[in-house]
Structure 1
Amino acid sequence: MRTDIFARLDREPEPPKIEIPRMSRTRTALFGGTLAFYVAIVVAVLVSSSLVILDWKIMLFRPYQQWPDLHPFLDYFVVLGQRGPTAVMIAAWLGWRSWRQHTLRPLLTLGAALLALNVTVGAVKLGLGRLGPHYATRIGSAELFAGGDIFPSGHTANAVVTWGILAYLATTPRARRYLSIMSALVALGVGATTVYLGTHWLSDVLLGWAAGLLILLALPWAEPLIGRAEYTILAVRERWRERRRRVLVAPVPVGVPRTPAPVSADAETAANAEEQPCDHVGAGHGGRPGAGRGAGQLTAAQPRQHAVRSERTPVTPAGSRRPPRSRPLTGG
């Protein structure tokens, strides 16, 4: 009897239908406000406003030199914002959720969020081309269109999306509240850590927070597409299973004539020799049965007479080994 956790999960009933978030008025208002904040940050950097001056003040302050004891810990903490490690961890958890809830929605939602994040953030990064604090060339400059790729902060935006997706997919209000607090703290911590390490300007982090929040707020608009994708994937899986089931249970045809294998001339001769009577002897041995048969046929009713060993003539494929009798030579 199985007693492991998978056996217990197999016996549990299918969970109830999960409520899918909708684009409510509150969510729409938050999306609009976040989008306005996003645009304001971009414009403030483009015109080199006081926000750019604040960026330079923090950069010249060099927080990593003011509090060097925090450096080893924050070097590891900032990994929570890297796309590769966090995507693997969150995908593993959501994969278990998908299996547990009998639905592909958690994994598909994560995939849609990461795709939208890469497209939107990557386009702005390459379009503005801002250099980071360690590569700045002129004090007070916004360092735009210089071939960089740090505006907005990818670490910050990724932390908002990958950890915030847990709160978005929560099934109870209590779990959603706790996961929202946890994801907000992680996203704030990762953004502040990049400023401490000097890898991002403060404005980069502000724009990263806004970019990630826009993705989370816009996810309900993608729910119909996610539902159609799940339906298509499950339908393809069922068709594949049905095709495989037909192949496994297909009956084996009975009574199909088999083509006889080609038989060589030697094999056919040997088979015919086995079917003939064993008392067949060649002509020329007088006094033996069958010596006077016309066509080499011998009736089966005649008894076979065995010769003694001294009278037998050894026969080989080349003929008899006994030399023919010859007349004695006489001298003369």
Structure 2
Amino acid sequence: MSRLQVVSGKGGTGKTTVAAALSLALATEGKRTLLVEVEGRQGIAQLFEAEALPYEERKIAVAPGGGEVYALAIDPELALLDYLQMFYKMGGAGRALKKLGAIDFATTVAPGLRDVLLTGKACEAVRRKDKSGRFVYDYVVMDAPPTGRVTRFLNVNDEVAGLARIGPIHNQAQAVMRVLKSRETAVHLVTLLEEMPVQETADGIAELHAARLPVGRVIVNMVRPQVLDAAELELVRATPRTALAQSLSAAGLGGARRGGHAERLVDPLLQQAEEYAERYALEHEQRVALTELGLPLHELPLLTEGMDLAGLYELATELREQGMT
């Protein structure tokens, strides 16, 4: 397993939920996982029913087997202060620059700098070791930007390394890209069984390959349960309306106690069956398209009662059983 697991996906596919569930799945059997948020939405805190995350690594969950999940919401301004202290020993001067507004100015006028700081902080957590020489975190999971931006976000350090030919900035950018373009990293894409998310997933995979970034797996989220298969749908369509009405009456639906009007239920039920058949055909088509991408494919169920902490643990179990860990 790659130690840096990057999770992206089209907006609305539930990539933050999948990233959170993956961090729980990876933390089983005593492992320690860091879940990193880079978009400032505090989505992780909401999922884990916790207070807004500060710019510090904080334990937010315990996984089965005693593993631990830590979370970090990266703040670009504070990450820049870390950077200045780490490479230029400018702790006090950096804080003075922040008071003057220079740090905020730098991260606002240079969007690429924000991405450098965000990816750099995540990769630092991947490489960090304790005094005994062991990695502090077994895995780092990044809740990354959406599919349309993730390639440029991850590849920004390559551009920076080309612009700054020498010095600490060049060396830091190269160190980050050595992590991001190695087997230590896997970029997973979250999608739905719908045309637009599937197409964006295919486009995202092509862009990642072109940038020589390591693509991991495709995770289909919010998959609705299959009620009828193709053969059963054909049987419903082929059954005469009178036979359907008789079956409904025999089941006690619309029978004698309701005035013998089971036939009134036939048309609404047939309409529902037709709508289901259309959705079934669409989802089958999109599933085939995803399979043709040639990547490992995983599916997570739609949790009809909504997403809460128990739901996260349920999805984590699904990911473990499907071999994501």
TM-score (norm 1): 0.21
- Name the structure, 1 or 2, with higher relative contact order (CA <8 Å, separation 6+): 2
**Higher relative strand content:** 2
TM-score (norm 2): 0.22
**Higher relative helix content:** 1
**Considering only CA atoms, is the larger Rg found in Structure 1 or Structure 2?**
1
